[in-house]
Structure 1
Amino acid sequence: MSVTIKDVAKEAGVAPSTVSRVIADSPRISQVTKKKVKKVMEDMGYHMNYNARVLVRQATQTIGVVMKHSSSHSFDNPFFSEVLSGISKACQENDYSLNLTTGESEEAIFRDVIKMVQGKRVDAIVVLYSKEDDQVVPYLMQQNFPFVMVGKPLMEASNIMYVDNDNVQASNEATDYLIQLGHERIGIVGGEADFEVTKARVEGYKKALALHGYPQNASYIKYRKDGSYDGTIITEELLGLPEPPTALVIMDDFHALSIIAALKEAGVSVPGDMSVISFNNTIVSRLSSPSLTTVDTNAGQLGYYSADTLIEKLQKPGMMNKSLIIPTNIVERESCRERK
């Protein structure tokens, strides 16, 4: 037989209404009493009725997560798994659940968001991207619905909470790393061109080249399309240039795997003929052959602090919006070598 509020109240020596207020985290109940009652609840194996708590508190204790792409594409890439792991950790610490978008297109993902908001299925939302011509963020702003972005907003950055890396600086450092190895012909393989992270990293790459007085070759800048991680066409285009690059900055470990496979197919060895530095320091970078030199973006922290900041905002509605920059660092492995 399940344990009830009355059972907990009797064991704790308090009124059932006090137990209810502890569950609702009422400020009228002292921390001493809360601690005592929660200990009894834990010892007795009491599990609160979340549906009842939603009615009392007018809150779902659930955070929505809006994926960058369809769930099938997003979960292919371990970067998003690590971000979600960080979000999940923060939610677990604060007794929140997660609700993920499952749409297979931008329009379907947007419809999922409308259902979350209008159906009061979540208390707030984490948006895992920042991009041009996005429907989600303007909608959330119009609805005055709490949200945070993983990525710097392309509009009204001062009015929107976000957690990000300094992607301009990170890409600048990655490009400079290759320059210090003696490379002059350096290409960059980005994500989709309309995402803010891609724009920032291309900017950092260009700044590094300019600082060293190297000419910028538009043919060395390539973008991923339609969420695909297949690097075959991009590799063929780069190798087909009159003067192919000798080094590549690739914006994602997972995409780097495909590029390296395509290079190998073309008879180009890494790092013998082509040096490669990527981003994110996921498990892919450690298991790749050769192992990848990569920029550690601390994906788990990006996820953790996005959710933690959002939950803090829910608990303190009057709090000023926070924006956090998570530091990055280069992890040296086997995919780069000095240019002779």
Structure 2
Amino acid sequence: TLLVDIDDEQSFQNPYFYEEMHGIERYVYQKEYSLIVANIKTAPKKQNMIDFLVKSKRTDGIILPSNIIDDELVAKLCEHNIPFVSIGQPSVSSSPISWVDIDNFRGGQSAAQHLLQSGCHKIAFLGHNPKKFFSQKRYEGYLSALATHNIQLNKELITTCGNSKEDGYECARELFKKHLDIDGIICGDEIISIGVIRALSELGKKIPEQVSLISFDNGQIAQLSFPSITTIDVDVFELGYQSAKLLFDQIERTSLKNQGILIGTAIELRETTRKKES
């Protein structure tokens, strides 16, 4: 069973949610099982859903997103001896559980290092959300790269941002009002990067000669954009696939200890960044 929050619009508007689900379904199919997607929202509904799945004997294991995990839910699952895996490293549960996540720290670090090694000195981070664990890990990776290059953090270059291209456009315009000398930008996803590119065009900033840009995600938007966008490739299919594999490992080997798995990232070089300086 894959538990989701049906009211979390950001998840359902994001094509990567379906790619993640595709990875889960691929492994589940190989094991000749069926995948059930169940809605879960508030704390009472969490407990009701678990009770329903247990009493109806409709699940052998559960995959759930880290943002809905809390100690009460973990206790309920353990009470009923239901194997479960978190997609995303949990930030709030005090109980040891199994999880699979993207190596977001290394992704943020790689993005910043690539810009620094290609000659950028003042790098903005658009789309940081301290309430999202994955976003915070990317930010920490960014900080690590700055420290390695002895660059002091300027907090004015770190901005929260929505998920639309309009949000990216507005954030970029606001940033450049105060910091015209920004020469590198890291975007939280490829959708907001489209708005950033539009803002840079209106400001007369040449990409990548004057401003380099790198974005997380590596979908068709990044490939078809003009200029095409250099990205940190986040393999969400593999994230889903490995989550399902870990769950079946737990189902088939009940003595298996809880563990965490990190999925690596890679840089896809395109037209929005310069070549590394020799």
Q: Same fold (TM over 0.5)?
A: yes
Superposition map of 1:41-190 within 5 A: 63-67=1-5, 70=7, 72-102=9-39, 108=41, 113-120=46-53, 121-130=58-67, 136-143=69-76, 144=78, 145-155=82-92, 159-190=96-127
Shift of residue 201, structure 1, vs aligned partner: 0.8
| Equivalent position SS for 2:208 | coil
CA RMSD of aligned residues (A): 2.7
Matched, 1:298 2:266: no
Relative distance call for 1:259 and 1:95 in structure 2 (3 A) is farther
**Paired amino acid for 1:65:** L
| Equivalent position SS for 2:178 | coil
Distance 1:276 1:250 in 2: 8
> How far does the alpha carbon of each residue in 1:268-311 deviate from its partner, in whole angstroms, 9 at most, with x for none?
44334321111222232212222111112211111100011112
**Paired amino acid for 2:72:** Y
Relative distance call for 1:216 and 1:279 in structure 2 (3 A) is same
Distance 2:112 2:103 in 1: 14
| Equivalent position SS for 1:277 | strand
Structure 1 residue aligned with 2:187? 250
**Long gaps (5+) in structure 1:** 1-62
**Percent identical residues:** 30
1:246–1:274 CA contact under 8 A, matched in 2: yes
**Paired amino acid for 1:136:** I
Distance 1:331 1:157 in 2: 36
1:188–1:221 CA contact under 8 A, matched in 2: yes
Distance 1:311 1:256 in 2: 37
Shift of residue 71, structure 1, vs aligned partner: 5.3
**Which segment drifts farther, 188-197 or 109-118?**
109-118
Distance 1:255 1:242 in 2: 19
TM-score by length of 2: 0.84
Larger radius of gyration: 1
2:124–2:185 CA contact under 8 A, matched in 1: yes
Q: 2:169 aligned to 232, 238, 248, which one?
A: 232
1:66–1:113 CA contact under 8 A, matched in 2: no
Relative distance call for 1:147 and 1:224 in structure 2 (3 A) is farther
2:232–2:265 CA contact under 8 A, matched in 1: yes
**Paired amino acid for 2:145:** A
1:280–1:299 CA contact under 8 A, matched in 2: no
Distance 1:109 1:263 in 2: 42
Shift of residue 260, structure 1, vs aligned partner: 2.4
Q: Which has the higher contact order (CA 8 A, sep 6+)?
A: 2
Structure 2 residue aligned with 1:5? none
Shift of residue 241, structure 1, vs aligned partner: 1.3
**Paired amino acid for 2:168:** G
Distance 1:287 1:183 in 2: 25
Matched, 1:282 2:219: yes
Shift of residue 251, structure 1, vs aligned partner: 2.3
> How far does the alpha carbon of each residue in 1:98-152 deviate from its partner, in whole angstroms, 9 at most, with x for none?
333557xxxx36565434312115443323345xxxx533232120243212222
Relative distance call for 1:99 and 1:257 in structure 2 (3 A) is farther
Structure 2 residue aligned with 1:4? none
**Paired amino acid for 2:228:** S
Aligned residues: 268
**Which segment drifts farther, 205-214 or 262-271?**
262-271
Relative distance call for 1:268 and 1:93 in structure 2 (3 A) is same
1:66–1:109 CA contact under 8 A, matched in 2: no
**Paired amino acid for 1:178:** L
Matched, 1:328 2:265: yes
**Long gaps (5+) in structure 2:** none
Relative distance call for 1:201 and 1:210 in structure 2 (3 A) is same
Matched, 1:204 2:141: yes
**Which segment drifts farther, 150-159 or 303-312?**
150-159
